[in-house]
Structure 1
Amino acid sequence: MLSIAVAVFSAFVSLDISSRLKYAERVSRIRWVSAGALSLGLGIWAMHFIGMLAFHLEADVSYHIGIVIASIIPAIISSGFAFYIVSRQTARPRDLVISAVFISIGIVSMHYVGMEAMQMNAVLTYDPVMWLLSAVVAFIASLVGLYLLFSLPDVSRFHWRRLVCSLLIGLAVSGMHYIGMGAAEFTPLATPQPLTGFSMDSTLLAVWIGGSVTTLFVLMLISLRNEK
């Protein structure tokens, strides 16, 4: 529930940013695109990582910090690409589809790179059908989200619609994540090895990540409201 809430809130902040792109000057547009990429990218990543912590295994799990940090990069880059498309005055349906392909690649890469950060006494493999389904859901989520990001500036005063759009984007991204988690298959190692990664109470770490990212989003939202 916390992971989904983070995804929805990050989508809400991102939609608020997208509503300003249409009227922004060049310098301001670059700033808003960067802010949107950071908010949506961090939101997707935080939702993913909290969702991983919600996944309970019988074996102990630790996380490779370097890989965890590396998994943030595809999320931010793909989100930046989305906001770059949104910042343009016009976009053809073909542009949105092509953009959705690249963005979904970024989301899927973030998810499965993040999964590789899990260190445990088990071999990680994936069910090919579930893996493909997660990629399809990521594409559909990217296409719907991109369409909403692009069209919402015309109805920026309708806050209820922005809230509904945020909920749809958050649920779509969460759906991709949990289908991807369902595709994972863990085969215990015959000879257990000592874990060397970062280990911490999952609930505490999830709350810490969720609280930190949400605080950042609240500060960004306040900054948006105070922007002249």
Structure 2
Amino acid sequence: MDFLNVHHSGFLIVMSCVVALVAGFTGLSLTRDLSEKPMFQKKVSVALAAVALGGGIWAMHFVAMLGLQMPILFFYDAAITLVSALSAILIVGAALILMHFTARTPTIITLAGGIVGIGILVMHYIGMAGLEMCRAVYTPTGVIFSSIVAIGLCILAFWIAYGQRTNRNIVLGTFCFAIAVASVHFLAMAGTNFVAEPDVAEFGPSMSNETLALGVIFFSFVIFGACLWVSVTYLVAPRTAKSSANKAPEKSHHIPTTDVQVPCERDGTKVFVRSSDVLFVRADGHYTQVYTQDERLFCAWPVTEASKRLLPTGFLQTHRSYLVNPGRIARFERTKDKGRCIFDGTDMPPAPVSRSKLKAIQDALAAQASALRA
């Protein structure tokens, strides 16, 4: 079997990696703070993120393929090329649905990352099947190695990006995602040979490199445009957060005035509870328990995330594991060098106040009482 001599354009290799980075950043950024959004907006954001990530996988692959140079003229089957794009978008969409519409457990994060890795592999090999006038011949080493790298790096990307939904983690997750996409392509291509195959078995209409280039340019333009749109909110967010943090001490002595939608679960269904209806929040391992007047609900936020969201609205941290709504405290009791906050309702447990927090909590509650009297 005579293999064809193959070369690659260095410029298009670099551009394909840039496309992967931009797509990863756009997709992971679109899914920030979804717990605070209405269900319809949440569904739209997940759908757009799936298009950005899945479409980015496809665009990266074919930008690199546009740089593939062989001594023969070759084409692409348009139908198979379209199927490769849709496969990537649907598989990534399935992973994002798991992440945002089910309880985000370690198993779910790992499973979602693995699904995205499989999506990259499926897209690559379906896309390669669309070649006409030549045929790809794979080596077991290339297939196995690229598969391990794809799945492993995508799981790592999801653990980083979804471990804590900070801007820093999203950027780190973006790099892991881009490396995973690029690694699959170039590791697989390194273990791939090509042979001429004049007899074409067409599944759909043929498409030249020039036609493919137009499609890839258009899709890349859409992804880059979405990246610019996302970047505006991304860059503004830290300043807003900082501003809120600076104002937090001022607000902490008053009843919370700004409602935050707290994502909880009730009988396996996700519900949103207004922070003004929350009595207190208690850490429970990597998650939290949210107490309202009538029930206790599971929340996927860790206590660090709950603190970031609720303290600027006026909640008080009475203990490293407890966040308390001062407006719902019925009375405060001190026992030696500790204390506890009592709430209305005989079945409602008190929230402990640690020794290190005792003076700050007493001062905050005294200031609140004075403000109410005034």
Alignment TM-score, normalising by the size of structure 1: 0.83
Q: Is the 8 A contact 1:86 1:149 kept in 2?
A: no
1:220 is aligned to 2:233: no
Structure number with larger C-alpha Rg: 2
The residue aligned with 2:138 is: 126
- Larger CA deviation: 81-90 vs 104-113: 81-90
The residue aligned with 1:56 is: 69
Q: Is the 8 A contact 1:21 1:29 kept in 2?
A: yes
Aligned-partner residue type, residue 152 of structure 2: I
Distance across 2 between alignment mates of 1:58 and 1:38: 34
Q: Is the 8 A contact 1:8 1:169 kept in 2?
A: yes
Aligned-partner residue type, residue 5 of structure 1: V
| RMSD (CA atoms) | 2.6
Distance across 2 between alignment mates of 1:89 and 1:69: 30
The residue aligned with 2:207 is: 198
Aligned-partner residue type, residue 177 of structure 2: I
1:75 is aligned to 2:88: yes
Distance across 2 between alignment mates of 1:74 and 1:152: 29
Listed as ranges, the matches of 1:16-165 within 5 Å are 16-88=29-101, 90-120=103-133, 122-153=134-165, 155-156=166-167, 158=168, 161-165=169-173
Gaps of 5+ in 1: none
The residue aligned with 1:168 is: 176
1:57–1:107 Cα change, 3 Å: same
1:17–1:123 Cα change, 3 Å: closer
1:84–1:119 Cα change, 3 Å: same
Distance across 1 between alignment mates of 2:117 and 2:151: 5
Distance across 2 between alignment mates of 1:4 and 1:115: 18
> By percentage of residues, which structure has more helix?
1
Distance across 2 between alignment mates of 1:149 and 1:75: 20
1:180 is aligned to 2:188: yes
Alpha-carbon distance, 1:188 to partner: 3.4
Give 3-state SS (helix, strand or coil) of 1:22's partner: helix
Distance across 1 between alignment mates of 2:135 and 2:215: 27
> How many residues are paired up?
217
Q: Which has the higher contact order (CA 8 A, sep 6+)?
A: 1
The residue aligned with 1:2 is: 15
Alpha-carbon distance, 1:214 to partner: 3.5
Q: Is the 8 A contact 2:96 2:112 kept in 1?
A: no
Alpha-carbon distance, 1:178 to partner: 1.0
Gaps of 5+ in 2: 1-13, 234-374
Distance across 1 between alignment mates of 2:173 and 2:191: 27
Aligned-partner residue type, residue 193 of structure 2: E
Identity of aligned residues (%): 23
